[in-house]
Structure 1
């Protein structure tokens, strides 16, 4: 019974921390609805170029919010950062619902972006630090679930209130306020309490989130203190090491930062914002039906986002990312064909859209962030993950901000062909550069299984050479120079080009 109470408390804390991310997703659906009014209502006074700027800038400013969130969460705590980020996002959403011209829209989106950037980073950190190792992987998925639920909620709000875009946008201001009310009741994370010298409070929080004896709590606190001290020792050297990485760290950077970039480079967020506009641009349907298709796509995302969370610890990250990349390639090719030939059935385009979000949810949607948090060694993880998320937000802003101009300039079919090429490159990227990180948690105390080296020609080569297969992420004993070929096939051990 005590185990159940403790675990339920952990889940409730994590859900409360992530609740504000519903507002991030809600903005996608709600602003997609508002765009339909902006395009048809001259009194709003927004051009197509200004609309695309407003769409893209939220995530670009969010990248700035993600960067400044690092010092904030360390100085004031994870809980304070959560509350501050959500209050800022609420103010931005309220300003957006009252905006009357481009400068006022710009200011509102800027404020929303700052708040969303902070509210996007802090929950992931809090969930990892508040959860016992046995449920840490599960609670790490709450943020992605909340974002997808928020997208669906935003679309549904547009369907329920089809005549008031200001009312739909204003609903996005209420969600962060609810999040603040919930987050005011959660404890601070044990790791930050240790950093702040509040060991007794950290012990109380640990005892409340797992069925631990006093000895186990002391052991966990000692481990946290060791990790905090190690992070402090490496804090100054992390930036220097990332600027002059050794081969093993360079491979981790390619895997983690590449995943953060490619998650958005296939145009998923731009498609979410502009599904109704895109369908109308292609002459495939009217406004009401186009928005209904968008809402249905949001429902598809919510349903299928659950699948990888059930499978990723059984089949691994790499197979799901490969499946996702291949599926996205097929769906984007189908969409290019459907929009190139308007005489083809409308359901073909709808099926392509739904299939796109199914395959995105099966892999790239949830797993890019998980891979980013698992692939870096502890000594540089904080800085490297922050850079990765900033890159992700910038890529999202650029992709969503250029989606409609590309569809207008190249035609919808041409835009989907471009994204098809990016999705195909993602298949190649995952095959050659992404290691399997299943079992590698956010704490170095959980020893990961060895990540087997991959040779394109001969998978048994290490045994033939009498060498030890080294982890993708481990520093090799000799730290041999990395050749282009050894980089591409993911070798991490003391091998040189001659070994091939």
Structure 2
């Protein structure tokens, strides 16, 4: 009985998706319901499709925290356990930024393969590269091998930060999609705090830097096994079906099975109907036609690229890497006892980031994306001008700098931190989602590298006060961009976002 109903549903879906039969041309308006019913799902079934991709984000955050401690350990004549510990500042910079360059490579790789192998297999590949990168880094006998390990680990970061938000967005029910993707950012910050904490435990041990990277070897194994167990994204399967890349009926049956696993037993009887609805909506939006590279820069795809690229660009050029870079000196100026220990300072800020990201996770699907972006970035404007004023006018009142720093970190984690990644995962049309997100991730890591390397020369040229005030001006411009360009996507399915917001 159940099999027959599925065959009937698939048959009707074919009629909607077959342009040669006139199914699309007869549709005058997109097949999007004005008021869709909330998607039924089991909470237990919704956890694994978030959890295993989020492990990749946790590994990204861990690398940030652990590397800050590893660079201390590896330069110690007594604790490094190596003969090549006398590293130059350039060498240390290469170690620190090696994973960032690897992430850029990973983003480029994702652009080419993401829509071919799918989100699930991309995350399996990321887990494998993470594992190899961590092992090579931990056992590196010479500096060059260490850098190879850092680059490989970075490729895993690039693949993960491309595929994880996309997989979560395409598998999560619309009413909790924002929360799930924001929890991915929470995982990144949790990994960062864990990296600082574990790094502080190993930093006084001989060859401690090796143990810092070896400690997380089990996590990519768990991530890889988990992603092998999870189903492929049903929307990716349906895209392949619509574009005729494989056996149409088998792909649609696989999408039904996938949706049942992702939502749980509550939709066993309605999974085929939901697949049919998604197919109809994708067909009406023109997803049955294979995308060309030029389409990325036309029409609704160009609008999506403007929104996503603009958000991740502003996420970085509003000073996020630079403010955190300056955090230890700000707290030291304020006379905090913990300021003598850079690791403890980093843990303190990491816990604040964790707390504020948790707040964003709780409220994002209630308040929406735009209110959090506008409110959080407004707070960043105040904090950056306060920080600039401290270095220009109030350098004898360190409390001003501390308040500005804490306000900046808190407001960033309420706004650009989680919502930038959320918006890039849900704003692109399905057929160009893989390529679009890879460009956005490339912009993110590329701009991060640019801001990081340009900060010191600009600080010397302009002074810290003028530089932070300049970041404040960019934040003001960001408010105009958010208000006039960024749409509200709260509660909408991915197909509704494409139809109504682009």
Query: 1:264 Cα deviation (Å)?
Result: 1.6
Aligned to 1:175: 219
Q: Identify unmatched segments of 5+ residues in structure 1.
A: 449-471, 474-500
Distance change >3 Å, CA 93–CA 260, structure 1 → 2:
same
Task: Provide Cα deviations, 1:102-145, integer angstroms capped at 9, x if missing partner.
Answer: 53343222111111111222222222233333433332223212
Pick from 263, 269, 276 the counterpart of residue 222 of structure 1.
276
Shift in CA distance, 304/129, structure 1 to aligned 2, threshold 3 Å: same
Residue of structure 2 equivalent to 1:384 = 436
Residue aligning to 2:320: 268
* 1:10 paired to 2:64: no
Q: 250, 253, 257: which is aligned to 1:204?
A: 257
- Relative to structure 1, the CA distance from residue 348 to residue 282 in structure 2 (aligned partners, 3 Å threshold; closer, same or farther) is closer
For the Cα contact (< 8 Å) 1:85–1:119, is it kept in 2?
Answer: yes
Q: Any idea what the Cα deviations from partners look like across 1:262-306, whole Å, max 9, x if unmatched?
A: 112223245546744786799987874332121110001111112
Aligned partner (choices 44, 55, 58) of residue 19 of structure 1? 55
Equivalent residue in structure 2 for 1:290, among 325, 331, 342: 342
Counterpart in 2 of 1:33?
Answer: 69
Q: CA deviation at 1:71?
A: 4.6
Partner residue of 2:233? 189
CA distances 1:367-389 after superposition (whole Å, capped 9, x unpaired)? 11222344444564443333222
Q: Within 5 Å, which residues of 2 pair with 1:26-65?
A: 26-37=62-73, 43-65=84-106
- Given candidates 151, 173, 193, the residue that maps to 1:152 is 193
Matched, 1:241 2:285: no
SS of the residue 1:356 aligns to: helix
- Does the alignment pair 1:366 with 2:366? no
Measure how far apart 1:338 and its partner are. 4.2
RMSD of aligned residue pairs (Cα, Å): 3.5
> Structure 1 residues 368 and 240, CA, compared in 2 at 3 Å: closer, same or farther?
same
**Contact 2:110/2:434 (<8 A) preserved:** no
Residue 22 of structure 2 corresponds to which residue in structure 1? none
Higher relative contact order (CA 8 A, sep 6+): 2
Which residue, 437, 443, 448 being the options, matches 2:495? 443
8 Å CA contact 2:170–2:494 kept in 1: the answer is no
Q: Partner of 2:495: helix, strand, or coil?
A: coil
| 1:13 CA drift (Å) | 2.8
Task: Mark the CA change 1:136 to 1:286 in structure 2 (over 3 Å): closer, same or farther.
Answer: closer
Inter-partner Cα distance in structure 1 for 2:143 and 2:235? 43
In 2: Cα distance, 1:109 partner to 1:270 partner: 22
Is 1:119 matched up with 2:119?
Answer: no
Stretch of structure 1 that moved more, 152-161 or 204-213: 204-213
Structure 1 position 141 matched with structure 2 position 182? yes
State the TM-score, normalized to the length of structure 1: 0.77
Residue 360 of structure 1, CA deviation = 0.3
Name the SS of the counterpart of 2:230 in structure 1: coil
* Structure 2 gap ranges (5+): 1-38, 78-82, 241-245
Provide the secondary structure at the position in 1 that maps to 2:496: coil
Number of aligned residue pairs: 445
Alpha-carbon displacement from aligned partner over 1:403-460 (angstroms, at most 9, x marks no partner): 4555566555454344333323323332343333334432238975xxxxxxxxxxxx
**Structure 2 Cα separation of the partners of residues 21 and 48 of structure 1:** 28
Return the alpha-carbon distance in structure 2 between the equivalents of residues 149 and 438 of structure 1: 25
- TM-score normalised by structure 2 residue count: 0.76
How has the CA–CA distance of structure 1 residues 352 and 314 changed in structure 2, closer, same or farther, with 3 Å as cutoff?
same
Asked whether the 8 Å contact 1:374–1:440 carries over to 2, the reply is no
C-alpha change, 1:86 and 1:216, in structure 2 (3 Å) is: same
